[in-house]
């Protein structure tokens, strides 16, 4: 039975009913990822990128307690203007936000959940959350990893965010049986950088290969999703030394200020943006566009598989 709290936008519903490719997109990048009006412009460009590559975009959000699979341009504008006043919603927040009739910006976790409710299999984002540095003390591990272990949605990203402990993030995904695919690479990309020095589980080079692997995973009845890591285009990648220095400075300041939990990632990304003179924000936008294009191609191949 369709979830009674779920609204599917008309063009998304039509595409799903006809077996056409659909790509889910998150809304935290709109409300918490960058300032207005750049956030709205970017969200609309990402949707256009999905269309240009043969799929229907479905930006996911919570508005007035309704789970939305697909937003109108007016709804995207509303989200962009309201910005960080909107709750950043993870799995634990959904019930209360719906019960209160409030808004929520969906993270990787909640975008996967709502996409799955709507019947959308493919989702493009910037970078996933993961195991935070120092997690052996703080136990700070993103709910994104648990969702990947349990919800059958393929996530296309530029790797885990570089502020995280990438080695432990891979270990956690392995423990939970989540395949980590490198799109055209054997090395895990590190968000702003193409290199981490860590190996992925498998390298797949085409949308068709990715779609077939995911289709077989579904046919085998294996629970959970699949992670496709797509390196940032070379011309937009940042120098590893510069980005790592900025991350270390940001982490030190977060520790000094006692920032923890769901406030950590937005704080660190904003601090890294400041320390890199805004270069990291531009890289972030370009990698999201790149992931949206690849996701649309994989969604098209999946629809034909």
Looking at residue 252, its pLDDT comes to 84
Domain count, the chain: 1
- Rounded Cα distance between 161 and 167, Å, is 12
Residue 232 gets which letter from DSSP?
Answer: P
**Length of the chain counted residue by residue:** 305
Contact 285, 42 (CB under 8 A): yes
pLDDT in tens, 219-257: 999 999 999 999 999 999 888 787 778 778 877 888 888
Burial of 23 (0-12, 13-18, 19+ CB in 10 A): buried
Domain harbouring 276, CATH code: 3.40.1790.10
Q: Is residue 140 part of a domain?
A: yes
Q: Is residue 86 part of a domain?
A: yes
Per-residue tokens: 41: 């412009």
What does the pLDDT average to over 41-68? 98
Q: Is residue 252 part of a domain?
A: yes
In this prediction, residue 72 has a pLDDT band, given cuts at 50, 70 and 90, of very high
pTM exceeds cut of 0.85: yes
pLDDT at 182 exceeding the cut of 70: yes
Catalytic residues: 26, 161
Nearest Cα to Cα of residue 141 among 264, 228, 20: 264
For residues 300 and 279, the model is more confident at: 300
Beta bridge partners of 23: 57, 122
Q: Is residue 133 part of a domain?
A: yes
Q: Is residue 239 part of a domain?
A: yes
For residue 134, the enclosing domain spans: 6-304
pLDDT in tens, 101-145: 999 999 999 999 999 999 999 999 999 988 977 777 778 888 999
Please state which of the ranges 169-173, 189-193, 220-224 shows the lowest mean pLDDT.
189-193
In this prediction, residue 278 has a pLDDT band, given cuts at 50, 70 and 90, of low
Per-residue tokens: 270: 């904003």
Q: Is residue 117 part of a domain?
A: yes
Q: Is residue 1 part of a domain?
A: no
């Amino acid at each position: 039975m369709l979830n009674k709290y779920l609204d599917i936008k008309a063009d998304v519903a039509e595409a799903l009913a006809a077996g056409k490719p659909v790509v889910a997109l998150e809304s935290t990048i709109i409300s918490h990822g960058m300032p207005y009006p750049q956030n709205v412009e970017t969200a609309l460009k990402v949707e256009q990128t999905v269309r240009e590559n043969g799929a229907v975009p479905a930006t996911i959000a919570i508005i007035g307690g309704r789970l939305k699979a697909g937003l109108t341009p007016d709804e995207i504008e509303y989200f962009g203007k309201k910005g960080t006043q909107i709750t950043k919603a993870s799995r634990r927040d959904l019930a209360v936000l719906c019960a209160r009739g409030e808004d929520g910006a969906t993270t990787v976790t909640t975008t996967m959940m709502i996409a799955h409710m709507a019947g959308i299999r493919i989702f493009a984002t910037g970078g996933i959350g993961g195991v935070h540095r120092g997690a052996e003390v703080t136990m700070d591990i993103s709910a994104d990893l648990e969702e990947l272990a349990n919800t059958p949605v393929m996530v296309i990203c530029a790797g885990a965010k570089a502020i995280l402990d990438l080695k432990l993030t891979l270990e956690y995904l392995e423990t939970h049986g989540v395949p980590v695919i490198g799109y055209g690479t054997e090395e895990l990309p590190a968000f702003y950088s193409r290199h981490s020095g860590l190996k992925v589980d498998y390298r797949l080079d085409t949308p068709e290969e990715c779609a077939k692997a995911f289709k077989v995973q579904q046919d085998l009845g294996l629970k959970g999703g699949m992670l496709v890591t797509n390196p940032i285009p070379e011309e937009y990648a940042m120098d590893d030394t510069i980005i790592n220095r900025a991350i270390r400075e940001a982490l030190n300041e977060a520790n000094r200020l006692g920032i923890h939990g769901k406030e950590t990632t937005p704080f660190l990304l904003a601090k890294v943006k400041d320390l890199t003179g805004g270069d990291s924000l531009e890289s972030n936008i370009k990698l999201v566009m790149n992931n949206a294009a690849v996701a649309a191609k994989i969604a098209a191949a999946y629809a034909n598989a």
